[in-house]
Amino acid sequence: YFFRIGGEEFIILLTNTDINGALTTAEHIRKTVEEMLHTAENEIITISLGVTTVKHGDTEYSMFKRVDDYLYVSKNSGKNMVKSDSDNLS
């Protein structure tokens, strides 16, 4: 499932996927976007991603807050990267 939640922010919800599968998918998306050339400006387009899994006791808010935090860690760490639960950022 793919949702737009704000100006340039989107959520991709993967069902029946563990953290390793989610990270593989996120990295594939990141590399695909990085390889796209914006022909009008001849600029490279990049993407920053946050990845999390549903944890016991999660609410929609806590899960989206956590993934949003990972997204901003990615952006503030130089952009064009994936940050996740496996980075021990919380």
Residues designated catalytic: 8
Apex CA 18: angle with CA 59 and CA 63, to 5°?
A: 20
CA distances (Å), 68 to each of 14, 36, 73, 75, 79, in order?
16, 24, 9, 11, 14
Q: Using DSSP bridges, classify how beta strands 82-84 and 49-51 pair: parallel, antiparallel or unpaired.
A: parallel
